[in-house]
Amino acid sequence: MTIPKTNMNEILPIVGIGASAGGLEALDTFFTSMPTNNNMAFVVVMHLDPSHVSLLPELLQRQTKMDVVKITDCVRIEANRIYVIPPNKNLSIINRELRLEERSDLRIKLPIDYFFKMLAQDQGSNAICVILSGTGSDGSLGLQEIKAESGMVMVQSPLSAKYDSMPKNAIATGLADFILPPDEMPQCLIKYIKNIHPNDSSNENNTAISNNILHEILVLIRNQIGHDFSLYKKKTIYRRIERRMHVHQIKNIKDYLSFIQKDNHEITILFRDLLIGVTSFFRDKEAFDVLMNSIIPELLLKKPDNYTIRVWIPGCSSGQEAYSIAIALLECIEKSKSNINIQIFGTDIDEYAIDHARSGVYPDTIISEIGEKYCKKYFTKEGNKYRINKSLRDMLVFATQNLIKDPPFSKIDLICCRNLLIYFGPELQKNILPIFHYSLKDDGILFLGPSETTGQSNLYFEIIDKKWKLFKRKYKKKTTTSSLHFSDPMSSLKMNRINLPATTTQIEEFSALQLVEIILKQSHIAPCVIIDNQHNIIYVHGRLGDYLEPAEGRSSSNILDMARTPELKDILSHSIRKSLLQKNEIQKKSIITGNKEDKKFIDITIKPLPDFSGFKDLLMITFLENVQKKNTENNKETAKDSDLNDDNILRKELESTRENLQTTIEELETSNEELKSSNEELQSTNEELQSTNEELETSKEELQSLNEESVTVNAELQSHIDELSTANDDIKNLLDSTQIATVFLDTELKIRRYTPKMTDIINLLPSDVHRPIDHLSSSLQNIKLSDAAAIVLKTLEKIETEVRDDKNKFYRMRTLPYRTANNVIAGVVMSFEDITKIKDVEIELRESEQRYRSLFDHCPVTIIELDISELKNYIVNNQLISVAQLKSHLKSNKIMDNNIKNLIQVLNINESGLSLFNEPNKKKLLDSLPNIIINHDYIFNQIKIIIEECTNIIFTSKIHTSEKSITNCEITITIPKHVSNERALNSILVIIPETNGREEG
C-alpha cells in the first residue's frame, strides 16, 4: 500500500527511540500497536554488535506495514517511516536529514544520548524521545536536552521491561512525561501530536495567550511554590506552558488555567518544567581548556600560600558544572604545585537538583564527558554509577538560593554562571550583573555561557575571552545592596539626612522667652523677625502688617514669600544672602513701600545672631519707619512739580536696581563657588557614608552567607551522622552476635571496643573503655596481652598463637594491626577463638593413634600397609583392564623398568612381620618388601578387584620369607574402615597369619 507523505513545510514529529538489551521485544510490541498512518517518523537507535550485520530492519518490517529503512548517510526523514541505525555508527540530524558519523574511541558507547542531543538541537519542542528496555543509562543525558527544548519524554515502565536499568535511570531524572508499557505508548503519542498540529502551532498559541492569563499562572506558582517568574523570558515560559498543555491534550490556555487552579500537583510539575536546564561535566570543552590553560594559572600566581579560592556557581543544577570547576582547579593547583585551598558554593532554586548535587552520584555514561583519567582519579565506581570522591566532595557546599531575591555570596574569586542568564528577561539580566560585580573581588573572573553576554554592563566587566565569555571585574567602588534591588528600609532616610532645614517644630522646642531675652539684650524694640538660613520665620516681634503678609495658597513661613512688594522681596533676598556670607550687619535705608497715596519709607537692618541650642546662622531683621524722610519728601512735593519728582524717583529706583543686580551677580558667583565646594564636600561625605554602608552591608551579607553555609553544612553533617549511626548500630549488633572474643585497642593500647565474649577472658566493664589494657588482668596463662599488641604495632605483622586460661580452655589468639579505609594504622585488633573442643579431639586422636599403634605392633599376625594410590590412578587414568595392558603401557612409556611393583609403596609393617621375614631392621625390610611377591600379575589382578569393587579378598600366594625360603600362605587384603568408595581408596592392609603353608628351600 502507499503511505501518505507529509509536506516538508508541515510540522513532522520525529520520535527517537532508544533501546538495548531486551529492546527488540519492546520494539515489536510498540510497532505492532502503532497505526500505519500516524503522521510521525521513527528513528530507532540500539546498541548493536559492530562485528555483525544487523538484521534489525528485517525483524521490524515483520511487525509493521510502515517502511523500515536502514540509514545511510544523508537520508531525508519522511512521515510514516521507521529509520534504523547501522552498527558502530553515531547518528545526527540536521534540518530533518539523518547523517552518519564515525564513533569515537571511548570505551563506553552512547549512541542514544548522542542522537537525542542532536534531535533536541534540530527539532526543538517537536522532538520526542522514547526509552525502552536496556542495561546501563544511555539516553538519560540526552533526554534532558530534549526536555530543555520543551520536547516530550516517554519511558517504558520498568515492570514491563526485560531489562529495567535504562528505564529506571531515565525515570530517576524526574523528567519523564509518560511511563507506560510499550503497547500503550502508540495511542498516547497520537493524542500528544494532535496538540502540536500546525493549526495549533506555538505562534498562534503565543498570540492567544494574554498577559493577564500568564500573570495569573505565574501568581499561582508564586503563591504555592514561593518563586516569581514574572521577569523570566516570556517566550520560554510560553513554550513550557504549551508543552504541559500538549501532555494533557488541552488546546486552550484558559482551560489550562482552570485545570491548574484545581490541581496543585500540576503547578509543581510546571514549576519543575520551568527550571529545566541542560548541564553536563566540562560542557563546552574548549571553554574549559581556556579556563585551565590561561585563566586559573594566572589567578593562582596572584595568590599567597594557604589562600582559599572562593568560587560561586549560581544555577548549578545537579552539580556537574560545580564538580567540573573543582576538578579544573585541582588539576591547575597540582600542575603549579601551589599550596592553595578551594571552597566552592553551588546554589540553585531547585531543591531536587541540589539534593542530586549533594549526593555526588552520576551514571557511568559521564565517562564520555569526563574521560577515563578523571573518572579514575576523582570518582569511585559503584555498580553502574560513579560517586565523587570524598576529598573532592568536601570542597563543595550546595544550597538552595533564589538569585533574584536572596543575598549573594561575597569576596568571590570566580563566578561560573553558564546558561542561566539566557532564561532571564533584559530587566532581570540588568539587575543580576551588578550582583556579580558586588560578589567578586577586584580582578575576579566571571564565566558565562557561550550564548550570554554582559550586554550594556561594560561599566562592571572587561572582556578576557570574547568567544567563551570570560570577563574580569573592573575596579570600581562596590555596589551597595540597596542599589542591587535588595530591600533596604533605611535608604529613604539616608537620602534626607543631608542639609535638612530647621523646621518650626524644632524651634518650638525652645521657649519664646529665650528669643525675647536675646532681643531685649540687644535693645531692639522696633518690629522685627528672626529667620533661619532657609529664610523661614521662626519668631515675630511687633506689628509687621505694613511690610509682610501671608502669601496666597499653601501656608509658608518664608519671609520672601510674605513680602508685600516685589521691591521689598528683592532687597530682602540679596541683603539676607550678603549678611549670611559676610557675617556682618546690613542696613538698607529709605526703602519705599506702599502706593503713591500711602507711600512709606522704611529702614531695614539685618543682623546675624549668636549660635545657640544647636541653631546656626540665625538673622534678626528689623523694620523701622523713616518718618523724617517721609516729611522731607512731602515738602519736596510742594516745591516741585510732580514730573520732576517722578523723574528723581525713577533715577533712584534705577540706581537701586543696578546696585541690587550687581550684588545679586556677585552673590550668585559666590554661591556657585560655595555650591561647588559644598557639592565636593557632599560627594566626599557621600562616598564615606557609602563606604561605611558597604562595609556594613558586606559584613551583613558575609554573616548571612556564613549562616546559610552553616545550615547547609549542618544538614550534610546530620546526614553523615545518620549514616554513621546506622553503621555503628550494624557493627554493634554484629559484634554482640559473634561468638569470638574480640577487643579493639588504639595506638596507646587503650580499649576502644570489645565483644561480649571478651568478658570470659578479661573481666571487662563498660567503664573500662579508654583504659590501658595492661591495667586489667586476664585469665590467660603465660602471656601478657599488652606485649603482644606492642609487637604488632611495631612490626605491623600478624601474630597467631595458642593460649590457655586458668579454666583449662584453649584459644587461638590472633593479633593484627587495625587499619582504616585510608590504610592508616589506628591501633590493634585481638581476637580469641575458642578451640577447646578441637584440642580435646586432638588428644583423643593421639590416644587413639597410640592404641592403634600398640595393637598394630603386638598383633600375632603379620600386617603390612601398602600405598596403592599411584597404581590406582595409573589404572583409572589410562583405563587399563588387564595385566597385559598395564605392562604394555609401562613398556611403551618406559616407566619404572616395566615393573608393576614399582607402582606400590610399602608404608609400614608390624613386629610379627619382622619375625616372619627374619629381619630386625625395619627400614631395610620396608625397602625390600616389594621383592617378596612371586607372582606380581596375580597380585595386580587381586588389587584391581579391590579397586573396582572396594571389598576385602582372601587368596593364597607364594612369597619370599627369606633369601632362600619361599612360603605358600594365605593372604588377606582388606581396606581401612573409613574407606567407603573407590575415590577414597588410597591404601590397603595385607594380613599374613602365622606360616600355614609349605616352605620350600
DSSP letter at 872 equals H
Could you tell me the three cell numbers for 718? 546530620
Calculated CA dihedral for residues 422, 427, 428, 432, nearest 10 degrees: 100
Amino acid in the structure at residue 818: Y
Amino acid in the structure at residue 233: K
535 is catalytic: no
CA Rg value for the chain: 53
Reduced to 3 states (helix: H, G, I; strand: E, B; else coil), residue 704 is helix
Query: Given 47, 437, 535, 541, which residue is catalytic?
Result: 47
775 is catalytic: no
Distances (CA, A) of 572 to 550, 563, 567, 608: 16, 9, 9, 14
Reduced to 3 states (helix: H, G, I; strand: E, B; else coil), residue 385 is strand
Residue pair 857/911 in contact (Cβ under 8 Å)? The answer is yes
Could you tell me the three cell numbers for 810? 584453649
**Alpha helices (runs of H) in 384-439, residue ranges in sequence order:** 390-393, 426-439
User: Could you give the count of Cα atoms lying within 13 Å of 87 in the half-sphere of its Cβ?
Assistant: 9
Rounded Cα distance between 284 and 465, Å, is: 14
Query: Given 113, 122, 138, 164, which residue is catalytic?
Result: 138
SS3 percent helix, strand, coil of the chain, rounded to 5, is 45, 20, 30
Rounded Cα distance between 159 and 613, Å, is: 88
Rounded Cα distance between 344 and 494, Å, is: 36
Element at 801 (helix H, strand E)? strand 799-804
Q: What residues contact 993, with CB distance under 8 A and at least 6 apart? A: 861, 862, 969, 970
Residue with cell 555508527: 89
Rounded Cα distance between 132 and 215, Å, is: 39
Query: Given 20, 137, 317, 579, which residue is catalytic?
Result: 20
Could you tell me the three cell numbers for 958? 607364594
Could you tell me the three cell numbers for 293? 590553560
138 is catalytic: yes
Rounded Cα distance between 562 and 550, Å, is: 5
Beta bridge partners of 563: 548
Rounded Cα distance between 602 and 591, Å, is: 5
| CA-based end-to-end distance of the chain | 110
Rounded Cα distance between 917 and 488, Å, is: 119
Amino acid in the structure at residue 30: F
What is the SS3 assignment for 530-594? EECCCCEEEEEECCCCCCECCCCCCCCCEHHHHECCHHHHHHHHHHHHHHHHHCCCEEEEEEEEC
Catalytic residues: 20, 47, 138
